[in-house]
Amino acid sequence: MLSSEGFSIPWSFGGLTPEEARADTSRVVVVPVPYDSTTSFRSGSREGPNSIINASRYLEDYDIELARETYRVGIHTTNEIEPHVGGPEHMIDRVHDFVYPWIEDGKLITLLGGEHSISVGAVRALSKFYPDLSVLYFDAHADMRNEYMGSKFSHACTARRIMEICPIVPVGIRSMSKEEMDFIQNEDIRIHFGGELNPNNEWNIEDIVGSLSEHVYVSVDLDVLNLGIMSAVGTPEPGGISWNTILSIIREVCSRRNLVGFDLTELTPGDGPIANSFVAAKLAYKMIGYAT
């Protein structure tokens, strides 16, 4: 949207003006988290939030599927959460403390990463308001190591740490270690596999939704998507979910459950075409539309 003060596009998600994005009247709060201290292959996801917000400023306001201008629910963009260099566990605490007041105020939390470890802070905060919280976890990787490179809060341990808070439904997994497979089998964890174990890219959406509680947080590591539409990620994997498929799953979840927050993580904009940032921005806008 053009600023009412001149011919410029405001620096906010969707390019909304200060009046359109007022904190007190907005239904949605977008929180940029430029943090990537535990990435293990390619760093650069700290640039993800800035790139997603920039791309979002040029999206069409009108959603042809939903037949409405989603931004009218109000989308407030906060300041960036400053990275904590003391370690990922401190950054997780910082994310928790930052989003907690927004949750208390009834906002739909939209976290833009950054690496996947930041999700733990949001889930921890939301679980205090929603005791029945469950997490729909989109990722190419299991992220169920108990420890990785000396830290239990590495991005490779995110799903494991979330499981200590609330139930999790992993979708799109197509890469893991022997340690993770042993853990999954010993704990009898239901995985909705992608890749070689799902060569036809077929998904039991009824089963996925049926495994979730009433209040749901959706965590999206963008490497879950097909490399053809999302190559700018820190740890890419062949295969992946298509655009229409991930929208179908999220749309059904939002129609039958209460989405209380979500995140998009692991975009490394320097490792792929600018189109990847637009894909991430549009996915965020679609999820806001479905949730509201």
pLDDT higher for 87 or 98? Answer: 98
Q: Is the pLDDT of residue 43 over 80?
A: no
Q: What is the CATH number of the domain that holds 83?
A: 3.40.800.10
Q: What pLDDT score was predicted for residue 7? A: 66
Give domain status of residue 282, yes or no. yes
Q: Is the pLDDT of residue 292 over 90?
A: yes
Give domain status of residue 129, yes or no. yes
Residues 228 and 91: their CA atoms lie apart, in Å, by 32
- H, E, C per residue of the chain: CCCCCCCCCCCCHHHCCCCCCCCCCCCEEEEEECCCCCCCCCCCHHHHHHHHHHHHCCCCCEECCCCEEHHHHCEEECCCCCCCCCCHHHHHHHHHHHHHHHHHCCCEEEEEECCHHHHHHHHHHHHCCCCCCEEEEECCECCCCCCECCECCCHHHHHHHHHCCCCEEEEEECECCHHHHHHHHHCCCCCEECHHHCCCCCCCHHHHHHCCCCEEEEEEEHHHECCCCCCCECCCCCCCECHHHHHHHHHHHHHHCEEEEEEEECECHHHCCCHHHHHHHHHHHHHHHHHC
Residue range 64-69: mean pLDDT, rounded: 98
Residue range 264-278: mean pLDDT, rounded: 95
34-43, 91-100, 197-206, 248-257, range with the lowest pLDDT: 34-43
Residue range 265-271: mean pLDDT, rounded: 94
Give domain status of residue 5, yes or no. no
Q: Is the pLDDT of residue 1 over 60?
A: no
- For residue range 77-89, list pLDDT tens digits in order: 999 999 898 888 9
Residue range 123-139: mean pLDDT, rounded: 98
Give domain status of residue 127, yes or no. yes
Residue range 174-185: mean pLDDT, rounded: 97
135: confidence class by pLDDT, cuts 50, 70, 90? very high
Residues 108 and 118: their CA atoms lie apart, in Å, by 17
Q: Is the pLDDT of residue 38 over 90?
A: no
Structural domain harbouring 54:
13-291
Give domain status of residue 4, yes or no. no
Q: What pLDDT score was predicted for residue 37? A: 74
Q: Is 161 exposed, middle or buried (0-12, 13-18, 19+ CB in 10 A)?
A: buried
Give domain status of residue 92, yes or no. yes
Q: Is 213 exposed, middle or buried (0-12, 13-18, 19+ CB in 10 A)?
A: middle
Q: What pLDDT score was predicted for residue 6? A: 56
The pTM of this model reads 0.95
Give domain status of residue 35, yes or no. yes
Q: What pLDDT score was predicted for residue 44? A: 82
Residue range 139-143: mean pLDDT, rounded: 97
Domain count, the chain: 1
Give domain status of residue 113, yes or no. yes
2-11, 142-151, 272-281, range with the lowest pLDDT: 2-11
Residue range 68-95: mean pLDDT, rounded: 95
Q: Is the pLDDT of residue 3 over 50?
A: no
